[in-house]
Amino acid sequence: MPHSFGYRARTRDMFKRGFKEKGQIRLSTYLVPFHVGDIVDIKANAAQQKGMPHKYYHGRTGIVYNVTPHAVGVIVYKVVGNRYIEKRVNIRLEHIKHSKCRQEFLDRVKRNHSAHVKAKETGERVQLKRLPALPREARTVSTADNAPQTITPVPYETTI
């Protein structure tokens, strides 16, 4: 049971760098552009202590509302009691990355648009909505040439 309640208490594994990711931060981290309205994931990078978010925000997703030369402002919704509070957190670029949470949706929008245009040219209707997976079709198992087998566990034997 921990007895310290500091700012970085109980973060030994949380802020640990990944396998073969130790050392200096890659320069490509600083070349990624961020714009207001982007959805970003917050993941603290222990190699840079400046501008590091509190451990609560590690692994959270937020929306960029402000961009400065070395940092961005991110809006994160925090559950406090029975409500959500909008928290505005300023985080350096090393601790955030673009989220892939909307990528599947954006791909589906493009796919639906191309299918819609193609269907309009040919004059046919196309199903663009996602359908839930249907139940598996019924099967009949025949016992002809397929005698039922009784399966029993193999008895445990020690060989000493």
Residue boundaries of the structural domains of the chain: 1-122
43-56, pLDDT tens digit by residue?
999 999 999 999 99
Per-residue DSSP letter, 40? E
> Edge to edge, what strands does the sheet with 39-42 contain?
83-92, 71-80, 61-67, 39-42, 96-98
CATH architecture of the domain with range 1-122: Roll (2.30)
79-108, pLDDT tens digit by residue?
999 999 999 999 999 999 999 999 999 999
Report how far apart the first and last C-alpha atoms of the chain are (Å, whole number): 43
Can you give the pTM of this predicted structure?
Answer: 0.74
pLDDT band at 4 (very low <50, low <70, confident <90, very high): confident
Cβ pair 63, 38 in contact under 8 A: yes
Q: Which residue type occupies 143?
A: T
Q: Which of 60, 16, 68 is nearest to 41 (CA)?
A: 60
Per-residue DSSP letter, 19? T
